[in-house]
Amino acid sequence: MNITVVTGMREFFFPHRIHADALVEGLRVDGAASPPRIPRAPWHSSNAGDAYHDFIFDPVGDTVDLFARYLLETASPNEAQLVLLPFDPLFGEAPNQSADARRLAAVLEHLAPSGVHVSLRPLAWTTSAADRLRAMGREAFGPLTSQHTPPPDPLGPGLPSALDECFARNYTYWAAYLGAALHLQGKTEDLRTPATRTANAFEQAGLKISPELGRDDIVQRVAEVFPRLFA
């Protein structure tokens, strides 16, 4: 039994939201017959079809312990479970909630019977789930490239407008990601908050992104750095 606590989900949803079905499908592990189970705290209000309200758990104070017990009591021995939290400790945002995220993982580990594996992962760097999410981002990003000639290189001159388009089309993850690349080149004076936070986090992590790198190279660099932070 695996329970993975995924943090930083808010960055994926805001300023706009994606449909619950898209989220669940996006998290399906390649080759798996069904997506992982994403339990929701029963006392949370739900908007049908709204992935953020349906699945994302805002851990607050005592509810952390309660939710941890709920997760363990409803966990299938044969199914992976994903717990989706809005805040990412890495971004240094909402320190209380970030602490709650860590506490949730700690309580789960403490309460979990043997055979239950609990891990804490920031959103983008969980293995195949992240691949699926990235794929969703790429798919969403696809039509954008066709509107620009030449296609917007993350570090090229077309990027600021691509970034705006990106925000406008809900692709906050990619926006933040690309924004970080811009920021590190000193081109990001008017970047919006998520991107700035991401960029700050990259800098704090000592991540070097040089102008000659393409998007795939940046993905690779970031992927190399982040697991070390959470090792």
Partner 1 sequence: MSATSPTLSVLMPHYNDPEGVELSLRSVASQTFAGTREIIIYDDGSSPEHVEALHRVTAEALDPVRVILGAANRGRPYARNVLLDAATGAYSAWLDAGDEWYPEKTALQLDAVYRARHKQFDRPVWVTCNYDWQWEGGKPRRRKQAVDGDQLTNLVVGSLAAYLWTTFAPTEHYRMVGYFDLDLPRLQDLDFFLRFVEKGGMFMLPGTHDPLCVYHKSDVGRDGEQVLRCFEYIFQKHAPVMARHSRRFRRNRELHMYMHAARFTQNNGDRLKTAAFLARGAAANPIGFARRMWKTKGVL
Q: How far is the CB of 110 from partner 1 (least distance, A)?
A: 11
Binding segment for partner 1 among 67-75, 154-162, 166-174, 193-201 (CB under 8 A)? 67-75
Lookup: tokens for 18 = 């994606």
45 binding partner 1? (CB under 8 A) = no
Nearer to partner 1 (CB atom), residue 22 or residue 41: 41
Cβ atoms 183, 191 nearer than 8 A: yes
Residues 129-158 that bind partner 1 (CB under 8 A): none
Given candidates 31, 48, 113, 149, which one binds partner 1 under the rule CB under 8 A? 113
Cβ atoms 105, 6 nearer than 8 A: no
106 binding partner 1? (CB under 8 A) = no
Given candidates 19, 69, 138, 208, which one binds partner 1 under the rule CB under 8 A? 69
Binding segment for partner 1 among 5-13, 109-117, 181-189, 199-207 (CB under 8 A)? 109-117
Cβ atoms 1, 77 nearer than 8 A: yes
200 binding partner 1? (CB under 8 A) = no
Tell me the C-alpha to C-alpha distance, in Å, between residue 66 and each of 42, 62, 63, 93, 104: 10, 7, 5, 23, 10
Nearer to partner 1 (CB atom), residue 34 or residue 220: 34
Cβ atoms 81, 38 nearer than 8 A: yes
Cβ atoms 218, 124 nearer than 8 A: no
